[in-house]
Structure formats: C-alpha cells, structure tokens
Amino acid sequence: MARRVVVTGVGLVSAVGVGTEETWRNLLAGQSGVGPITHFDVTGFPVSIAAEVKGFDPLQFIEKKELKKMGLFIQFALAATEFAMRQARLNLAPEIADRAGVYIGSGIGGFDVIEREHTALMQGGPRKISPFFIPAAIVNLASGFVSIRWGAKGPNSATCTACSSSAHAVGDSYRLIQRSDAEVMICGGTEAAITPMGVGGFAAMRALSTRNDAPQKASRPFDAERDGFVVGEGAGILILEELNFALQRGAPILAEIVGYGMSGDAFHITQPSEDADGAVRAMRHTLASAGATPDQVEYINAHGTSTPYNDRLETLAIKKVFGEAAKRVPVSSTKSMTGHLLGGAGGLEAGITVLALRDQILPPTINYEHPDPDCDLDYVPNQARPAQVEYALSNSFGFGGTNAALLFKRYTG
C-alpha cells in the first residue's frame, strides 16, 4: 500500500504579498497585483505591465554577501521556503537530513542574470563576466541553494517543463515520498522573468495582454474580453511529509496530497489541441491515481491564463472529465490577481489550493465581467466564497504540450 503524504507548510511570495498569509488574505480580498513595470525601462515595448513582487527585501532572508551568487528567482525560492519551513515548524536535524529532499521547478531561471552578464560581456569583454554567472542563473540552483541553506541531503532535483514545471516538481516529490525515497520534500517552483527579454519575447509571440492603460483589469481569465496573460513573478513552496513522520513530530497538517497525473499533447509548440485531449488525460490520470471520482471534486484551481485558447480549451477539458458535474464544480483562476508565474505557477497555485482546503473558502476569479459562451462554468466571479471542500484539483499546462494536475484532500485526522 502506498504511503500517505501530507502538506505541512506553504510558502508564498507573489505580486499580492511577500508571505503566505499576506498573499492569501489579499487573494481572498480580490486584490490585483498587476501594475506598470518598474524593473526596467519599457520605452518602445508594446507591453508595459506585469505582476511584480512589491516590497521584497532579500536581506530579510539572505546574507548580503550571498546575493551576488543568485538570480532573483533563487532569492524568491529561498524566501518562500523560509515561510514554508516556519509554518511547518520543521527543523532538519542531522539524523533526518538524508531523508529530506528538495525539488524546485522553474521555466526560465535566471533571465535577469543572463541579460546582465551579456551586457557586461558586450561592454567590457569576457573578463567582465562574473564568476557567479552560471550558478546564479541555472534552473537547478534554486534547489541547490535551498538544500545548502537547510541541510537537506536527500533527493535533489529540478524540473524545467515550462508552465508545468512546479506542478511536476510537487507531483514528483509526492511520488518520491510514496515510494520511500524520502520522508520530507521541499518542493514547488519559482520564477523571475519580468525582464526586457522575458517581456519582449512573450510580447513578440502576442501572448500578453496589451491592456496597458488598465493594468489591474488586464488579467481576466475566462472573460469574453481577455486578450492575453500578464507575466508574474514570485515563488510557491510546499513542505510534503510522509504522514506518520509528520504525526510523530507533531507537525501542523494543512491537507493531504492524494493524486498526480501528467500527459503530453504531441500537437504544437504553444497551442493545445482543439479537443483538449492532453488536459483531459492529465486530469483523468490524477483522479485515477487517487481512486477518486469526478463527483468528489469540489474545487478546481484552474491554469486559467487569460489567453483566448487556454481558457476555452481548459473549460472544454473540465466538461469532458466531469460531465454533468462540471456545471456545479467551482473553478477559479488566481492568475487574475497574481499574473502568470510561468514555471512558478504550479507551486504557487498548489499552495493556494491547500489554503482553500484549510480554510474552506474559495479564492475568486477577478475581472470576470463579460460571459463567454465557450466559457460557461462557475468561475467564482469577483468575490471569494465559503464552501465545503473535501477534494480540490490544481491544473498546470505548459508550452510544448506538457500537462500536470494535482489532487489534494482535506485532512481530518
């Protein structure tokens, strides 16, 4: 029989809060984190808005001398892990260090570092490149720095599967504990792609909202007037533990993770197929792995990017998986407030889903003002909603046709 796995800590850093409870409180209040970009000069850019993390002071979490060794995505991961570890009341003593692992995903990693060091190269030649360039930028160093900081000597890995990265990291961590490869996993995702190349690249694809004059209205998942996603940044980290290990140390148990599924579209580099087949199979695999039925799911935290294709096809996928039950299952996209964290989205949203189970309240989809006949589900429009929820699903879909879904269950002892 597979070992049971629970969530004992959630750490969130987002455009609506630096910290788990601040982020959660502002999400429930329907607060948008989108605004004008301040990270760089946007002159000449067709898109000048993003969901930046505000008021983030890395020195609260990281020694000053260490900052030059890490890109912003690593800094966000360390901060979110700090919040998660505090909530879990977890201390990785030497005797359990080799049974505690780290698995943190990122879709892009240190774009800010790459751009900065390329400028140094162009202006001053190769001698001006920092010796910390590579470790500050590569994706797996978020996991690396976290493992060093907390002394986690167990499985250490990273995923880079576009916008599914951190959902895969959480799901893979769940499986590692299930099969006795670890007792504890620090897992999730992080991203810091609000840079000239990041924003410019997505804008060139015409994937971003151009609602520059009304930034807080720009991210509007499932709304008929949606015109693209808004780039967000931040991190979401979960502490997963084997149930008995958590009980023996008296850990606070927030929820249980009971299902994980993944799939590939094998269709297009950026678009899902018109039959939403990949998303359908990911959700079905997740439910099957948990031994759960569609009518048991009482909340879905959607991928819900605010792009025309994604929202329509995710809605179709939910209808195919849930059938008649689809009309009664509340579905919300918190990207309406946080923006899209790309590879960090799944970690952030898994954490949000856990908090919804903990507090029995559903975060809203804000800016839902114009119904779309192709998007006709209950999207928890504009206001948080108290609800009785036993099972909650979190979806993540990425470029290249990579899909993941996670199923969480309310923990009642």
- DSSP strand pairing (156-157 vs 100-105): parallel
| pLDDT digit string, tens, across residues 249-259 | 999 999 999 99
Classified as helix, coil or strand, 103 is strand
Q: Which residues contact 67 (CB under 8 A, 6 or more apart)?
A: 58, 59, 75
Please give the angle made by the CA atoms of 23, 83 and 36, to the nearest 5 degrees: 40
Residue 353's identity, in one-letter code, is T
pLDDT the model gives residue 306: 98
pLDDT of residue 26: 98
With vertex at residue 144, the alpha carbon angle to CA 178 and CA 11, rounded to the nearest 5 degrees, is 65
262-279, pLDDT tens digit by residue? Answer: 999 999 998 888 999 999
Query: How is residue 2 annotated by DSSP?
Result: P
The pLDDT of 379-408, averaged and rounded, is 97
What CA–CA distance (Å, rounded) separates 321 from 286? 11
Which class for 291: exposed (0-12), middle (13-18), buried (19 or more C-beta within 10 A)? exposed
Q: What is the pLDDT of residue 87?
A: 98
Residues 52 and 39: beta-carbon distance below 8 Å = yes
Burial pattern 172-186, b for ≥16 Cβ within 10 A else e, equals bbbebbbeeebbbbb
The strand pairing partners of 36, in sequence order, are 49
Q: Which residue bears the tokens 């924003």?
A: 199
For 20-55, write each residue's pLDDT tens digit. Answer: 999 999 999 999 999 999 999 999 999 999 999 999
Question: 2: pLDDT confidence band, cut at 50, 70 and 90?
Answer: confident
Query: pLDDT tens digit string along 77-117?
Result: 999 999 999 999 999 999 999 999 999 999 999 999 999 99
160 labelled catalytic: no
pLDDT for residue 413 is more than 90: no
**Complete DSSP assignment for 212-275:** TT-GGGT--TT-TT---B-BB-EEEEEEEEEHHHHHHTTPPP-EEEEEEEEEE--S-SSPPPTT
Residue 1 has pLDDT above 80, yes or no: no
Q: Quick check: is 118 catalytic?
A: no
Q: Cβ(233)–Cβ(53) under 8 Å? A: yes
Whole-angstrom distance, CA of residue 347 vs CA of residue 189: 5
Annotated catalytic residue within 160, 168, 187, 303: 303
**DSSP classification of residue 300:** E
Of 168, 285, 340, 375, the active-site residue reads: 340
CB of 376 within 8 A of CB of 48?
Answer: no
Location of structure tokens 């299952």? 329
Q: Are 282 and 405 in contact (CB under 8 A)?
A: yes
- What percentage of residues in the chain have a pLDDT greater than 70? 100
Instruction: Give yes or no for residue 244 having a pLDDT over 80.
Output: yes
| Domains defined along the chain, listed by start | 5-248 (3.40.47.10), 259-409 (3.40.47.10)
| CB proximity list for 134: less than 8 A, separation 6 or greater | none
Q: Examine the residue annotation and report whether 303 is marked as an active-site residue of this protein.
A: yes
Closest CA to 13 of 194, 254, 189: 189
Of 163, 168, 187, 285, catalytic: 163
Tell me what the pLDDT averaged over the chain comes to. Answer: 97
Contact between 22 and 93 under an 8 Å Cβ cutoff? The reply is no
Q: What is the pLDDT of residue 272?
A: 87
Classify burial at 384, counting beta carbons within 10 Å of its beta carbon; exposed 0-12, middle 13-18, buried 19 or more.
middle
